[in-house]
Chains A and B, each alone.
Chain A
Amino acid sequence: MKRYLRVIAAVWWKDVRVELRSKDIFTGMAVFAALALLILNFAFELRVPDKRMVVPGVLWVTVAFASVLGLGRAFISEKDRGSLAGLLLAPVDRSAVYFGKMLANLVFILVVELFILPLTVLFFNVSLISLPLLLVILLGTIGLAVVGTIFSALTVNTRAREVLLPILLFPIILPVLVSGIRMTIGLLEGDPLSKLGNWLQLLIIFDILYLAIAFLTFDYVVEE
């Protein structure tokens, strides 16, 4: 168990370290997110009575699209440099590699969200940031990272992998987006978090359920 946790930490730290050096993933996601926010602003500006009404949707769509961009890189970089085998040689159950990668992706997406949130406040002139919202975003992002990381490993060995990842990912993570948008609407309208209890439950169940399935199936995705 101790070894298992140590491998998770090592893989996570390695990914963060490499990202701090290259900044490939973060820069890509952040610039893409800024572009998405700009474009969505134009998409809604004239047709919607109050731009603030569309903020929840804009926020989650931007997060989801930017995440896919980063999630794809998680295994593509390992695969293309041929370093994936090095991780798989670690003398632990391979799900440890999954958890390390997943936690690294989680941190990357969260950091990008820290950039998206103030930008949304700025562009759409709405006071959005609150503690309950951050909790909702955290739970939703866990769902994205949990499913996205294993699908990233799944698509890396396929043709047209960049196209395939969003096609596989989006229909599965729809409940994350639906409940995330729904709760963001509620919080913006001043509902307390307790009123959104069943949505929170849905999100938590989603995260735990898919984490369990990913834990059980990751080995099949990386072995030859």
Chain B
Amino acid sequence: MMSHRVLTVLNLAAAAAMVGAIYMALVQAPSAINLTETDRWAQRIIYFHVPSAWLSMLAFFVTFVAAILYLVRPQPRWDILARCSAELGIAFTVGATASGSIWAKPAWNTWWTWDPRLTTYTIVLLLYIAYFMLRGAIEEPERRARFASVYSIFAFVSVPITFMSIRWWNTIHPVILDPNEDFGLGPGMTVAFVFCILAFTVLYVALLANRLRVEYTIERVAALRARLLA
């Protein structure tokens, strides 16, 4: 369990990193060339969009690893870690999907396309909503943890397969928008981009640490109450 002091430092670091990220993304990073005024601003969404997408995958990967650890050694802390990380994963997925959609409006002139990445993210969102529905449908904590672990292993493994299948589908269908189209980052942009990815990672770690602390506190309160009433 993390000490209070470490947590405070982590929180401050996350706050500072995020302020820095906003500065880097909106002020420090140079504007993209060869774009209209609107697109130039819209392009800056990648400093938010890509880190969100990356972190949602990291978060679900943490859930996947924690699930395996739980099955190998069934201790509640692995399950708590899996669940908290999955919650954050959903939050970042929503962030990535929403920011992608906002970017798509000026760039592709539509809020929604069946782009493989966007479609995969939507399915990922549904997968982890299903994960929480499964959790909600089981009363007994130990069984809930076990079943959720099994499901999250299936869910995480399915992501690359789903992505591949949708990507192939689109490449065979008429492709209006090239899904491989890249942003083509200039040198100044790369600095801001890498900074934002790191800042978001710190944010994820800080959020996870706080979330775990809440969960451990809930556990302890419940245990104390049980002992008091016994």
Any A–B CB pair closer than 8 Å: yes
B7 an interface residue at 8 Å Cβ cutoff?
no
A168 → chain B, closest Cβ, in Å? Answer: 5
A175 to B130, CA, bound (A): 17
Give min CB distance, B74 to chain A, whole Å. Answer: 9
Q: What are the residues of chain B within 8 A of A224 when measuring CB–CB?
A: 143
Could you say which residues of chain A place their CB within 8 Å of the CB of B151? 151, 154, 168
From B130, B150, B155, B169, contact of A217 by CB (8 A) = B150
| Shortest distance between the CB of A201 and any CB in chain B (Å) | 10
A contact residues around B45 at 8 Å (CB): none
Taking a contact as CB atoms closer than 8 A, the residue among A159, A161, A164, A220 that contacts B71 in the complex is: A220
Within 8 A of B (CB), among A132-164: 147, 150-151, 154-155, 157-161, 164
Is there contact, CB below 8 Å, between B71 and A157?
no
Q: Does B33 contact A (CB under 8 A)?
A: no
- Decide: B165 and A157 in contact? CB cutoff 8 A: no
Q: Is A179 an interface residue (CB 8 A)?
A: yes
Give which listed residue, A160, A161, A221, contacts B150 with CB less than 8 A: A221
**Bound form: Cα–Cα A158–B135 in Å:** 9
Contact residues on B (Cβ < 8 Å of other chain), bracket: 20 to 34
Report which of A151, A159, A202, A209 forms a contact with B165, defined as CB distance below 8 A: A202
A31 near B: Cβ within 8 Å?
no
| Interchain CB contact under 8 A, B137 and A164 | yes
Contacts of A151 in B (CB 8 A): 151
Interface residue B26 (Cβ < 8 Å from any Cβ of A): no
Query: In residues 150-192 of chain B, which contact A (Cβ within 8 Å)?
Result: 150-151, 153-155, 157-158, 161-162, 164-166, 168-169, 172
CB distance from A80 to the nearest CB of B (A): 17
Interface SS of chain A: helix
Closest to A176 in B: B165
The answer on a CB contact under 8 Å between A167 and B143 is no
In the complex, A82 has a CB within 8 A of chain B? no
Contacts of A221 in B (CB 8 A): 146-147, 150
Contact (Cβ within 8 A) B147 A171: no
Chain B CB within 8 A of A213 CB: yes
Most buried by B among A159, A164, A168: A168
A220 contacts B161, CB within 8 Å? no
The answer to whether B168 and A198 touch across the interface, beta carbons within 8 angstroms, is yes
Q: How far is the CA of A131 from the CA of B140 in the complex (A)?
A: 48
Taking a contact as CB atoms under 8 Å apart, the answer to whether A182 and B134 are in contact is no
**B146 & A220 in contact (Cβ 8 Å cutoff):** yes
| A171/B137 contact (C-beta < 8 A), A178-B169, A210-B154, A220-B150 known | no
User: Are A158 and B150 touching (Cβ within 8 A)?
Assistant: no
Task: Give Cα A220 to B123, complex, Å.
Answer: 26
- Report whether B143 and A171 are in contact in the complex, using a CB–CB cutoff of 8 Å: no
CB atoms of B162 and A167 under 8 A apart: no
In chain A, positions 85-117 with a C-beta closer than 8 Å to chain B are none
Determine the chain A residues whose CB is within 8 A of the CB of B165 once the complex forms.
174-175, 178-179, 202
Q: Verify B162–A174 contact, CB threshold 8 A.
A: yes
With A172-B158, A175-B158, A220-B146 known as contacts, the answer to whether A158 contacts B134 (CB < 8 A) is: yes
Q: 13 interchain pairs (CB within 8 A)?
A: A158-B134, A158-B138, A168-B134, A172-B154, A174-B123, A174-B158, A174-B165, A178-B166, A182-B169, A199-B168, A210-B154, A213-B153, A213-B157
User: Which residues on B are within 8 Å of A, measured CB to CB?
Assistant: 71, 123, 126-127, 130, 133-134, 137-139, 143, 146-147, 149-151, 153-155, 157-158, 161-162, 164-166, 168-169, 172
Which residues of A does B touch, CB under 8 Å? 147, 150-151, 154-155, 157-161, 164, 167-168, 171-172, 174-175, 178-179, 182, 198-199, 202, 205-206, 209-210, 213, 217, 220-221, 224
- Known contacts A160-B137, A178-B165, A213-B157, then 18 further A-B pairs from the complex at CB < 8 Å, ordered by chain A residue: A150-B150, A151-B151, A154-B134, A157-B147, A164-B130, A167-B133, A171-B126, A171-B155, A171-B158, A172-B154, A172-B158, A174-B162, A174-B165, A175-B161, A198-B168, A202-B161, A217-B71, A221-B147
